[in-house]
């Protein structure tokens, strides 16, 4: 039977849960921006951690709730992942990005994966733009021997990046999404327990893996960057530096 009172006591938890959903999209949006990524990870972890305590607080006086909660395996397994994530949050707050692992490569993509790549360690403290800038500077000095900046309709320069946290398997945003879905499955059971139809919380709105991990760059802008480097007064180009194609014209 639908119980308006119960449901209204569950609302604050659902609100925090939706807030966490919003932060997942912020993590996608700022995946290539080191500081903003860490700040949004911090608020996501805070929000998702609070959902169940808020739900329990709201429903604790309801008859049968404590028994319900105790007997639900989903609640226990979600708690396990959350404990891990809570530890990660302490880690992020106290040690900043020093322990976060970030790696990737700079190269060329044709829309799926990376075609030609230079493996680089992407500094967790730096934006992906910085890795691209470093590559362009190298090309300015040593020449674009591979034709990285030569016009090509079928491919695009890119930075591929990944973030990990020690103790957490796989990509950080994937782990956050998994935690959200686990909490979502308990919440939907609770909503049913309150007498409403059980909702389906899903993350089909998430970015594709290609969209998340790859930042695409415009060749014309990169060529301009290369020219700007070469135009700096103290710039020294390597003696044997040669470009595979003519980069002087921006067409
Ligand atoms: Zn969404």
Distance CA 34, CA 31 (A): 7
Give the H or E element holding residue 156.
Answer: strand 156-164
| pLDDT (tens digit per residue) in 75-106 | 666 677 778 877 777 777 766 665 678 888 89
- Looking at the fold, whether 37 and 131 belong to one and the same domain comes out as no
Gap from CA of 208 to ligand 1 centroid (Å): 12
Domain ranges, residue 222: 101-162+218-231
Gap from CA of 99 to ligand 1 centroid (Å): 28
Gap from CA of 95 to ligand 1 centroid (Å): 29
Gap from CA of 22 to ligand 1 centroid (Å): 7
- Looking at the fold, whether 145 and 157 belong to one and the same domain comes out as yes
- Looking at the fold, whether 67 and 111 belong to one and the same domain comes out as no
Distance CA 150, CA 244 (A): 8
In a domain, 209, yes or no: no
Q: Please enumerate in sequence order all residues whose Cβ is within 8 A of that of 123, keeping only pairs 6 or more positions apart, or say none.
A: 34, 102, 130, 131
Gap from CA of 203 to ligand 1 centroid (Å): 6
| Residues 185 and 202: beta-carbon distance below 8 Å | no
Gap from CA of 188 to ligand 1 centroid (Å): 17
Report residue 60 as tokens. 């604790």
In a domain, 25, yes or no: yes
Gap from CA of 51 to ligand 1 centroid (Å): 17
| pLDDT (tens digit per residue) in 140-169 | 999 999 899 998 989 999 999 999 887 888
Gap from CA of 199 to ligand 1 centroid (Å): 15
Gap from CA of 224 to ligand 1 centroid (Å): 36
Give DSSP secondary structure letters for 209-231. Answer: HHHHHEEE--HHHHHHHHHHHHH
- Looking at the fold, whether 124 and 227 belong to one and the same domain comes out as yes
Gap from CA of 65 to ligand 1 centroid (Å): 29
Gap from CA of 205 to ligand 1 centroid (Å): 4
Gap from CA of 28 to ligand 1 centroid (Å): 10
Gap from CA of 228 to ligand 1 centroid (Å): 40
Domains in the chain, number: 2
In a domain, 111, yes or no: yes
- Looking at the fold, whether 137 and 224 belong to one and the same domain comes out as yes
Give DSSP secondary structure letters for 41-82. Answer: HHHHHHHHHHHHHHHHHHHTTSTTHHHHHHT-HHHHHHHHHH
Gap from CA of 212 to ligand 1 centroid (Å): 14
The reported pTM is 0.87
Whole-number Cα distances in Å, 250 to 64, 115, 149, 159, 226: 71, 24, 11, 22, 12
Give DSSP secondary structure letters for 76-138. Answer: HHHHHHHHHHHHHHHHHHHHTTTT-EEEEEEEEESSSS-SEEEEEPPPTTS-HHHHHHHHHHH
Render each residue's pLDDT in the chain as its tens digit; 251 residues: 566 788 899 999 999 999 999 999 999 999 999 989 988 998 999 999 899 899 989 998 988 888 888 877 666 666 777 788 777 777 777 666 656 788 888 999 888 877 777 777 688 788 999 999 999 999 999 999 989 999 898 999 999 999 988 788 889 999 999 999 999 998 999 999 888 999 999 999 998 888 899 999 999 999 999 999 999 999 999 999 999 888 876 64
Partner residues linked to 119 by β-bridges: 105
């Amino acid at each position: 039977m639908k119980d308006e009172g119960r449901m209204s006591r569950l609302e604050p938890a659902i609100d925090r849960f939706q807030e966490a959903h919003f932060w997942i999209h912020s993590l996608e949006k700022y995946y290539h921006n080191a500081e903003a990524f860490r700040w949004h990870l911090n608020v996501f972890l805070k929000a998702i951690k609070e959902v169940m305590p808020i739900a329990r607080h709201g429903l604790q006086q309801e008859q049968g709730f404590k028994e319900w909660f105790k007997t639900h395996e989903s609640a226990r397994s979600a708690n396990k992942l959350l404990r891990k994530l809570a530890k990660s949050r302490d880690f992020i707050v106290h040690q900043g990005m020093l322990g976060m692992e970030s790696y990737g490569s700079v190269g060329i993509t044709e829309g799926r994966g990376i075609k030609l790549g230079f493996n680089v360690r992407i500094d967790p403290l730096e934006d992906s733009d910085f890795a691209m800038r470093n590559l362009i500077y190298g090309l300015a000095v040593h020449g674009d021997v591979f034709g990285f900046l030569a016009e090509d309709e079928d491919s695009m320069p890119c930075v591929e990046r990944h973030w990990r946290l020690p103790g957490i398997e796989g990509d950080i945003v994937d782990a956050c999404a998994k935690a959200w879905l686990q909490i979502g499955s308990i919440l939907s059971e609770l909503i049913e327990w309150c007498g409403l139809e059980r909702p389906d919380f899903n993350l089909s709105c998430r970015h594709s893996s290609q969209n998340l991990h790859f930042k695409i760059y415009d060749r014309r802008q990169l060529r301009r960057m290369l020219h700007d480097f070469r135009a700096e007064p103290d710039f020294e180009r390597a003696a044997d530096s040669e470009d595979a194609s003519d980069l002087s014209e921006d067409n």
